[in-house]
Chain A
């Protein structure tokens, strides 16, 4: 086990290093990209450009610039935005993280509960109209762009039906911290949670249904029936449990991707000041250091989360340790 952990950690460190190098190269070594022009303001003289270039260390050799950038990003944590030098990138990401986490966590609870429910219903009512109906709904859910669904949700809850009893409780777009006011936190997030979870409910319900139908022919299911268990026990104790393996590993991946920045579209549509929104605000001004930092943050989060999941799996399943 210890050997496995050490080996996994080593490969993790190498991947993290490669991620920073690749991201740095994309942002600062693509031929033709010259941040100093952008930094120097409107119609800069060559002297201003040269001064700015020196000030931000852009005249140094590439490996030195990489080392300086990483030092400012990871060690001294004082990397500043190009657009607004008062904005320190690392604390800004740190402050945005709880927002993203709140959004993704709530959506995850909703999508797990509903997709299991729909998957089970589809299998129980396999021979009826309900199964194809649920699967068509799931497919429609998968086919909707989340930002568009969010806009339609905004249209309905903030405007068209806002003055009816249905949605009068929906607060204007924005965010309230859980620690400041738990009720407002919940009210602000409920519509974004539902919007974000639609895609995943559809997807996970389809996966779960397919897995349940796969295991339905297994010997242990027949054994369970033969020893006289009720259909409900067979379905919940034996079939569902074994179908959850794919479900759980997919869940780990998706949760990581969403916290790592994948929720950007939902955050933008609902004005939630998370990591994705921070990235979006920097996109408008093409603020390279902030975008680079959020991309590295996202890739780091996902890679580290995957490594943790691997170690946990290895603890549960000895076969993986050997591989």
Chain B
């Protein structure tokens, strides 16, 4: 299932085969940027990801100006014009044995490009809107998770002793749960919750749950880095100058563990997007009226043999997004930390 672990390389130095004279005097970030810019495959992946983000953000434009549809309103009685002919969106007698109802199939026209779902909604428009939710949750939870895990790792690594022991045992405990089962538990509880401040349809619920379950996976490698950076001479120098604890943690140590966090980020987003789609597929992720790629695949399950595009299209979007992030992640790792050993499954 979705997990990743990361072992940072020993020292941030020049990559193998890169001559030291040539690179002297440039900041590590510039060097990393140059290595990344030379990696064509990673750039292609980045372009694909940006493209997916752009079309997802542009979903309202597509729905309003191209498909002329409302992606969340049911259209059981509606008709649409395909090639000059007016046809019903939900067609009678289209099911097995010529009875029952079946939504319109792919028209390959602007309206109902890949057909409608059981409620007569334009699937293409929903896939684009779903992409917004999936990307928001994926990117949001990965950032939230990195933020929480980094702060906890800084506290544990910096103060050591009791703080470290308590935090690390807590992380071990979360680690002991299978990621999906822990996410399922939290989602079930939050969905049964009756609380004035909790809106079950909010995208924040899956975002927070997914961020929470992956915290130990970021915490462990970052804490290790903090422990090694803490012993470096420049930290000692800062202590000698009388720097405060906050200054030491956030001014001296954090910038030096940041590459570790950044290397993990694309791969984390890939993982969180897959986790979100799985939770939504199990109907405990994104709740109606919102849609995500996972909920559309779930909707498409009942139409699988008659209108397979409902389930296939959002899956293709997930594969493209996750693939581009995985390739980009490999590139970022090679650029920032050429000696690292990283493993990922999504």
Contact: A147 with B193, CB < 8 Å?
A: no
Q: Which residues of chain B are near A303, meaning CB under 8 Å?
A: 176
Instruction: Give the CA-CA distance A202 to B176 in the complex, in Å.
Output: 25
Instruction: Give the CA-CA distance A155 to B303 in the complex, in Å.
Output: 10
Instruction: Give the CA-CA distance A288 to B187 in the complex, in Å.
Output: 11
Encoded as 1 (CB less than 8 Å from any A CB) or 0, chain B from 328 to 346 comes to: 0000000000000101111
Choose from A31, A279, A280 the contact partner of B195 (Cβ within 8 Å). A31
Contact: A148 with B326, CB < 8 Å?
A: no
Contact: A145 with B278, CB < 8 Å?
A: yes
Contact: A261 with B326, CB < 8 Å?
A: no
Q: Given A142-B345, A142-B346, check contact A257 B188 (CB 8 Å).
A: no
Q: Given A143-B319, A294-B181, check contact A207 B343 (CB 8 Å).
A: yes
Instruction: Give the CA-CA distance A143 to B327 in the complex, in Å.
Output: 10
Q: Which residues of chain A are near B319, meaning CB under 8 Å?
A: 140, 143-145, 148
Q: Which residues of chain B are near A30, meaning CB under 8 Å?
A: 189-190, 193
Q: Which residues of chain B are near A257, meaning CB under 8 Å?
A: 1, 3, 178-179
Instruction: Give the CA-CA distance A35 to B282 in the complex, in Å.
Output: 21
Q: What residue in chain A is nearest B343 (Cβ atoms)?
A: A207
Choose from A15, A27, A151, A258 the contact partner of B189 (Cβ within 8 Å). A27
Instruction: Give the CA-CA distance A261 to B178 in the complex, in Å.
Output: 7
Q: What residue in chain B is nearest A139 (Cβ atoms)?
A: B326
Instruction: Give the CA-CA distance A15 to B174 in the complex, in Å.
Output: 10
Contact: B281 with A143, CB < 8 Å?
A: no
Contact: A283 with B284, CB < 8 Å?
A: yes
Q: Which residues of chain A are near B274, meaning CB under 8 Å?
A: 145
Contact: B176 with A19, CB < 8 Å?
A: yes
Q: List residues 169-196 of chain B with CB under 8 A from any CB of chain A.
A: 172-173, 176-182, 184-186, 188-195
Give the segment of B110-118, B135-143, B234-242, B307-315 that binds chain A. Answer: B307-315
Q: Which residues of chain A are near B308, meaning CB under 8 Å?
A: 155
Choose from B3, B172, B186, B282 the contact partner of A15 (Cβ within 8 Å). B172
Q: Does A159 contact B (CB under 8 A)?
A: yes
Q: Does B277 contact A (CB under 8 A)?
A: yes
Q: Which residues of chain A are near B268, meaning CB under 8 Å?
A: none
Sort chain A's interface into a size bin. 35 or more
Q: Does B37 contact A (CB under 8 A)?
A: no
In the assembled complex, the CB of A102 is this many whole angstroms from the nearest CB of chain B, namely: 18
Contact: A283 with B282, CB < 8 Å?
A: yes
Encoded as 1 (CB less than 8 Å from any A CB) or 0, chain B from 240 to 255 comes to: 0000000000000000
Q: Does A34 contact B (CB under 8 A)?
A: yes
Q: Does A299 contact B (CB under 8 A)?
A: yes
Contact: B178 with A302, CB < 8 Å?
A: yes
Q: Which residues of chain A are near B341, meaning CB under 8 Å?
A: 210
Contact: A203 with B188, CB < 8 Å?
A: no
Contact: B283 with A292, CB < 8 Å?
A: no
Size of interface on B: residues with Cβ below 8 Å to A: 53
Contact: A261 with B180, CB < 8 Å?
A: yes
Encoded as 1 (CB less than 8 Å from any B CB) or 0, chain A from 129 to 143 comes to: 000000000011011
Q: Does A323 contact B (CB under 8 A)?
A: no
Instruction: Give the CA-CA distance A202 to B247 in the complex, in Å.
Output: 44
In the assembled complex, the CB of B45 is this many whole angstroms from the nearest CB of chain A, namely: 10
Q: Which residues of chain B are near A210, meaning CB under 8 Å?
A: 341
Choose from A18, A203, A292 the contact partner of B345 (Cβ within 8 Å). A203
Q: Which residues of chain B are near A283, meaning CB under 8 Å?
A: 184, 188, 282-284
Of A27, A33, A152, chain B has the most CB atoms within 10 Å of the CB of: A33
Q: Which residues of chain A are near B311, meaning CB under 8 Å?
A: 148, 151-152, 155
Q: Does A291 contact B (CB under 8 A)?
A: yes
Q: Does A234 contact B (CB under 8 A)?
A: no
Contact: B327 with A139, CB < 8 Å?
A: yes
Q: What residue in chain A is nearest B177 (Cβ atoms)?
A: A299
Q: Does B82 contact A (CB under 8 A)?
A: no
Contact: A38 with B192, CB < 8 Å?
A: yes
Contact: A299 with B178, CB < 8 Å?
A: yes
Q: Which residues of chain A are near B301, meaning CB under 8 Å?
A: 151
Choose from B173, B192, B270, B277 the contact partner of A288 (Cβ within 8 Å). B192
Instruction: Give the CA-CA distance A298 to B182 in the complex, in Å.
Output: 10
Q: Which residues of chain A are near B315, meaning CB under 8 Å?
A: 144-145, 148-149, 151-152
Choose from B180, B195, B318, B327 the contact partner of A262 (Cβ within 8 Å). B180
Choose from A19, A143, A154 the contact partner of B270 (Cβ within 8 Å). A143
Contact: B278 with A152, CB < 8 Å?
A: no
Encoded as 1 (CB less than 8 Å from any B CB) or 0, chain A from 261 to 285 comes to: 1101100100000000001100110
What are 29 A-B residue pairs whose CB atoms fall within 8 Å in the complex?
A: A15-B173, A26-B185, A26-B186, A32-B193, A33-B189, A33-B193, A38-B192, A139-B327, A140-B323, A142-B322, A145-B281, A147-B278, A148-B297, A148-B319, A151-B300, A151-B304, A203-B343, A257-B3, A262-B180, A265-B278, A265-B281, A265-B282, A280-B282, A283-B283, A288-B188, A292-B185, A299-B178, A302-B176, A302-B177
Q: Which residues of B contact A (CB under 8 A)?
A: 1, 3, 172-173, 176-182, 184-186, 188-195, 198, 270, 274, 277-278, 281-284, 294, 297, 300-301, 304-305, 308, 311-312, 314-315, 318-319, 322-323, 326-327, 341, 343-346
Given contacts A32-B195, A288-B188, 5 further A-B contacts (CB under 8 A): A27-B189, A151-B304, A200-B345, A294-B181, A299-B181
CB-CB nearest 5 A-B residue pairs: A148-B315, A32-B195, A143-B322, A143-B323, A203-B345
Q: Which residues of A contact B (CB under 8 A)?
A: 15, 18-19, 22-23, 26-27, 30-35, 37-38, 139-140, 142-145, 147-149, 151-152, 154-155, 158-159, 199-200, 203, 207, 210, 250, 254, 257-258, 260-262, 264-265, 268, 279-280, 283-284, 286, 288, 291-292, 294-295, 298-299, 302-303
